[in-house]
């Protein structure tokens, strides 16, 4: 069966499964719409949480980031997994015991202020809408490649699918759909990794294959990869990313507390029956996430090796009898010159996977020296030897641009794995993007219908009216998300990191102070959240020259190489969080003390006894 037909079958069956589950689990009450009735089993909730979390960024982009950054990409693994430890230990059980539907509702009740609740809504909407841009873009990219449509058409199709199972199913439909999506995406991630690890190293477990020798040789995979990339002018794969230790630390912390503050993840812990189940859900989520996250470094390294194997025959990878890439020991042992003309690829003889990905615009070739061949190397390298070899071979610069987002999706095609494996990866990529998009849309919908309409505009609205408002809000949010995916703002390249920074600097500090401090007042919480939000957005936008002209002294001070203590905008969420905490405590000390009944509420939330049902009142 040809590849495209196989893809249609796999993707079609997965979509039929999602829609069937949504019809079976459609929401009939506000409790089912917001928190799935509060009766989800911890294992199922952990699996749904993993799917909610492992977005297009995790499935599609993370291995590509690691492939480009090398060991420095470990910052994402440490930050994102560490965030779940914070959730399990510091937030999930206490928020579940509080027994409310949404994060802004907790903020409003704890800080005894509708204004605080509305500011919480503002922070949630900014973080969620920023995050969803990347998810809708991922949907468009995956549909464009695997269904033969344009990226814009892919976003329209994704909007329709999410509309059908999220609007009618609410959290109940989304939860059980995400369980199915997790099964699809984890199979899609692991199966090709098993194939490729076995082909390259003889070890089918990629986690072990990463540290193994290449099959038939005494050369380790990482040693050979280091040799290949340095000879092409790139930095060693096994070195850390550029930047100061302070920036690395702040980046990791920002990802951790940003993860713990993402509203669409937090709301998952309101869906279980008991406090103990909330903690268990976080533990199961870590187990399910670890299956992908421990595999990602191997996928990134092996994808980089496969890509170089396609581009340069001297790398030592050849096509075996079954079509898979296999090691050529003779080439590996030879000290070949990777800059010889014959080591580059004739454009007209490029493999089919390159032709398919060129249509998406994520892989581009420019024949700079008009020789009809593809030269792939780091033309900005400071390695004079590498530069000299390239110049001697008549190369005029790197001619191939490979977007990091195609690494996971294209890897099975590069390795010439069976068509069913490639089709499985297509279904997995779509499951990852759609699952997180649905979770984000529900968080947005809940904030609008429950926190704004019922909490501020029309407190007397009936349950039936609130449920209808939730569904309408979800539909509107889908169209807004689709518009942002079709017309991303100028800072879209860093939207995921910006979303984490916003959550880290606004929501996480408010939740921590709300649970563990009896002295932070309403005015302190409001001032802290607004300060964290403003400072983070200001730094990011100023860094990108959106407020000021690039090249000015101010922008150089904020975003240059020697910016604010060398902290990158992606890591600035940590600074925003520190400012949030400091402002909140300072303003609270200057104002009236927290009412006695609120102090007793904080104390009761921390006492490990029982749990009330999610009332939404």
How far from the centroid of its chain's Cα atoms is residue 240's Cα? 21
**3-class DSSP assignment, residue 40:** coil
Q: Domain count for the chain, please give it.
A: 2
Residues 394 and 444 grouped into a single domain: no
Distance CA 263, CA 243 (A): 30
Q: pLDDT tens digits, residue range 170-201?
A: 778 888 888 998 999 999 999 999 998 998 89
- Residue 87 banded pLDDT, cuts 50, 70, 90: confident
Residue 581 domain flag: yes
Q: Which residue has the tokens 């909490």?
A: 455
Q: State which of 366, 398, 414 marks the end of a domain.
A: 414
pTM: 0.81
502 and 579 inside one domain: yes
The per-residue pLDDT for 428 is: 87
In whole angstroms, what is the distance from residue 162 CA to residue 434 CA?
Answer: 7
Q: Which pLDDT score is estimated for 183? A: 92
Task: Reduce the secondary structure of 176-220 to three states and give it as a string.
Answer: HHHHHHHHHHHHHHHHHHHHHHHHHHCCCCHHHHCCCECCCCCCE
The confidence band for 51, taking pLDDT boundaries of 50, 70 and 90, is confident
Model pLDDT, residue 333: 42
**Pick from 388, 412, 41, 352: which is nearest to 194 by CA?**
412
Residue 383 domain boundaries: 301-414
Closest CA to 427 of 194, 264, 191: 191
Q: What is the pLDDT of residue 585?
A: 97
Residues 88 and 51 in one domain: yes
Asked, for residue 506, whether it belongs to a domain, the answer is yes
Q: Report the percent of the chain where pLDDT is more than 70.
A: 85
- Asked if 401 and 452 sit in the same domain, the reply is no
pLDDT for 510: 96
Most confident of 206-215, 540-549, 577-586: 577-586
pLDDT in tens, 439-467: 888 888 888 888 888 888 888 888 888 88
Asked whether residue 392 falls in the same domain as residue 518, the answer is no
SS3 338: coil
Cβ(405)–Cβ(64) below 8 Å: yes
Question: Does 95 lie in the same domain as 42?
Answer: yes
In this prediction, residue 324 has a pLDDT band, given cuts at 50, 70 and 90, of very low
Q: What is the C-alpha separation between 139 and 147, in angstroms, rounded?
A: 11
Position 317 scores a pLDDT of 39
Q: Is residue 613 included in any domain, yes or no?
A: no
Highest mean pLDDT among 164-168, 244-248, 341-345, 525-529: 525-529
Which band of pLDDT confidence, cut at 50, 70 and 90, is reported for residue 316?
A: very low
Contacts of 286 (CB under 8 A, 6+ apart): 81, 84, 85, 88
d(CA 19, CA 537) in angstroms, rounded, equals 38
- Report pLDDT for 135: 76
Question: Among 414, 434, 450, which residue terminates a domain?
Answer: 414
3-state secondary structure string across 371-430:
CCEECCCCCCCCCHHHHHHHHHCCCCCCCEEECHHHHHHHHHHHCCCCHHHHHHHHHHHH
Q: Name the 3-class secondary structure at 326.
A: strand
Judged against a pLDDT cut of 70, whether residue 84 lies above it is answered with yes
pLDDT tens by residue, 367-388: 998 888 888 877 777 667 667 7
C-alpha 532/C-alpha 358 separation (Å) is: 42
Instruction: Identify which has the larger pLDDT, 454 or 361.
Output: 454
Domain annotation covers residue 112: yes
Contact 234, 240 (CB under 8 A): no
- With a cut of 60, say whether residue 560 has pLDDT above it: no
pLDDT of residue 522: 96
Q: Which two tokens stand for residue 355?
A: 């032709």
Answer whether residue 616 is part of any domain.
no
The answer to whether the beta carbons of residues 575 and 567 sit under 8 Å apart is yes
Q: What is the mean pLDDT of the chain?
A: 80
Q: Which residues lie below 8 Å from residue 106, measured CB to CB, with a gap of 6+?
A: 95, 98, 100, 511, 514
Rg of the chain in Å (alpha carbons): 25
Q: How many CA atoms lie within 13 A of 192 on its CB side?
A: 36
Residues in CB range of 26: below 8 A, 6 or more apart: 168, 169, 170, 172, 173
Instruction: Answer yes or no: do 278 and 134 share one domain.
Output: yes
Are residues 426 and 340 part of one domain? Answer: no
pLDDT in tens, 132-144: 877 777 777 777 7
Q: How many angstroms from the chain centroid is the CA of residue 76?
A: 9
Give the mean model confidence (pLDDT) for residues 564-574. Answer: 82
| 306 and 174 share one domain | no
Query: Distance (Å, rounded) from C-alpha 544 to C-alpha 308?
Result: 33
Q: Which positions ≥6 away from 275 have C-beta within 8 Å?
A: 93, 96, 97, 608, 610, 611
Q: Yes or no: say if 177 and 471 are a contact pair by the CB < 8 Å rule.
A: no
pLDDT at 192: 92
pLDDT digits (tens, 9 = 90+) for 101-135: 788 999 999 999 999 999 999 999 988 888 887 77
- Average the pLDDT over each of 132-146, 514-528, 532-546, 591-605 and give the range with the smallest value: 132-146
Say whether both 521 and 531 belong to one domain.
yes
Min mean pLDDT across 34-43, 186-195, 375-384, 525-534 is at 375-384
Q: Is residue 614 part of a domain?
A: no
Going by pLDDT thresholds of 50, 70 and 90, the confidence category of residue 555 is very low
Of 414, 448, 476, which residue sits at a domain end?
Answer: 414
One domain, residues 508 and 395? no
Please give the share of the chain, as a percent, with pLDDT higher than 90.
Answer: 19
Cβ neighbours for 118, distance < 8 A, ≥ 6 positions apart: 104, 108, 451, 452, 456
> What is the predicted pLDDT for the residue at 323?
39
- State the helix-helix crossing angle for 596-606 and 507-516, rounded to 10 degrees: 90
Name residue, tokens 């921590």: 512
Q: Any residues with CB less than 8 A from the CB of 355 and at least 6 apart, and which?
A: none
Q: Identify whether 552 is part of a domain.
A: yes
Tell me what the mean pLDDT of segment 211-233 comes to.
82
Q: Mean pLDDT over residues 588-609, rounded?
A: 87
In a domain, 219, yes or no: yes
What angle, 0 to 180 degrees and rounded to 10, lies between the N-to-C axes of helices 419-446 and 463-486? Answer: 130
- ∠ CA 74-541-480, nearest 5°, is 90
Separation CA 598–CA 588 (nearest Å): 14
Q: What is the CATH number of the domain that holds 539?
A: 1.20.1730.10
Who has greater pLDDT, 385 or 300?
300
286, 313: one domain: no
């Amino acid at each position: 069966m040809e590849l495209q037909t196989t893809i249609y079958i796999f993707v079609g069956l997965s979509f039929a499964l999602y829609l069937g589950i949504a019809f079976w689990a459609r929401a009939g009450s506000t409790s089912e719409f917001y928190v799935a009735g509060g009766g989800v089993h911890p294992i199922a909730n952990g699996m749904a949480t993993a799917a909610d979390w492992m977005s297009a960024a995790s499935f599609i982009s993370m291995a590509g980031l690691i492939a480009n950054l090398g060991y420095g990409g470990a910052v994402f693994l440490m930050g994102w997994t560490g965030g779940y430890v914070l959730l399990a230990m510091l937030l999930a059980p206490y928020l579940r015991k509080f027994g409310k539907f949404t994060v802004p509702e907790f903020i409003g009740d704890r800080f005894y202020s509708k204004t605080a609740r509305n500011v919480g809504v503002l922070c949630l909407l900014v973080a969620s809408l920023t995050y969803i841009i990347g998810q809708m873009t991922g949907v468009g990219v995956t549909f464009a490649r695997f269904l033969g449509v344009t990226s814009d058409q892919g976003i329209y199709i994704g909007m329709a699918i999410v509309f059908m199972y999220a609007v009618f199913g609410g959290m109940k439909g989304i939860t059980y759909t995400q369980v199915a999506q997790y099964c699809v995406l984890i199979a899609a991630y692991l199966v090709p990794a098993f194939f490729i690890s076995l082909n390259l190293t003889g070890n089918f477990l990629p986690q072990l294959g990463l540290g193994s020798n290449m099959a038939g040789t005494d050369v380790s995979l990482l040693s050979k990869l280091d040799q290949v990339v340095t000879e092409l002018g790139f930095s060693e794969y096994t070195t850390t990313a550029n930047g100061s230790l302070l920036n690395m630390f702040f980046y990791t912390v920002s990802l951790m507390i940003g993860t713990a503050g993402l509203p669409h993840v937090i709301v998952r812990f309101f869906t279980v029956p008991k406090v103990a189940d909330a903690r268990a859900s976080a533990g199961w989520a870590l187990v399910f996430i670890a299956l992908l996250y421990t595999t990602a470094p191997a996928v990134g390294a092996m994808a980089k090796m496969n890509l170089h194997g396609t581009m340069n025959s001297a790398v030592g990878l050849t096509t075996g009898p079954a079509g898979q890439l296999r090691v050529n020991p003779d080439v590996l042992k030879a000290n070949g010159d990777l800059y010889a003309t014959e080591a580059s690829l004739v454009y007209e003889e490029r493999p089919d996977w390159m032709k398919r990905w060129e249509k998406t615009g994520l892989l581009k070739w420019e024949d700079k020296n008009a020789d009809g061949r593809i030269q792939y190397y780091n033309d900005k390298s400071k390695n004079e030897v590498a530069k000299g070899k390239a110049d001697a071979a008549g190369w005029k610069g790197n001619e191939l641009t490979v977007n990091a987002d195609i690494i996971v999706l294209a890897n099975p095609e590069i390795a010439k794995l069976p068509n069913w494996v490639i089709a499985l990866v297509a279904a997995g990529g779509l499951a990852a993007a759609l699952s997180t998009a649905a979770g984000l849309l529900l968080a947005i919908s809940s904030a609008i219908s429950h926190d704004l309409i019922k909490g501020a505009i029309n407190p007397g609205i009936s349950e039936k009216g609130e449920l209808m408002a939730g569904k309408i809000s979800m539909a509107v949010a889908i169209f807004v998300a689709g518009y942002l995916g079709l017309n991303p703002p100028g800072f879209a390249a860093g939207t995921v990191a910006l979303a984490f920074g916003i959550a880290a600097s606004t929501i996480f500090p408010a939740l921590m102070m709300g649970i563990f401090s009896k002295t932070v007042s309403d005015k302190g919480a409001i001032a802290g959240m607004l300060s964290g939000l403003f400072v983070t957005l200001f730094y990011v936008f100023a860094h990108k020259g959106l407020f000021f002209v690039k090249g000015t002294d101010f922008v150089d001070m904020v975003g240059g190489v020697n910016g604010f203590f060398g902290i990158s905008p992606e890591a600035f969420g940590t600074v925003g969080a520190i400012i949030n905490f400091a402002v909140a405590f300072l303003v609270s000390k200057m104002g009236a003390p927290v009412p006695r009944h609120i102090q007793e509420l904080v104390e009761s939330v921390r006492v490990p006894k029982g749990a009330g049902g999610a009332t939404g009142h």
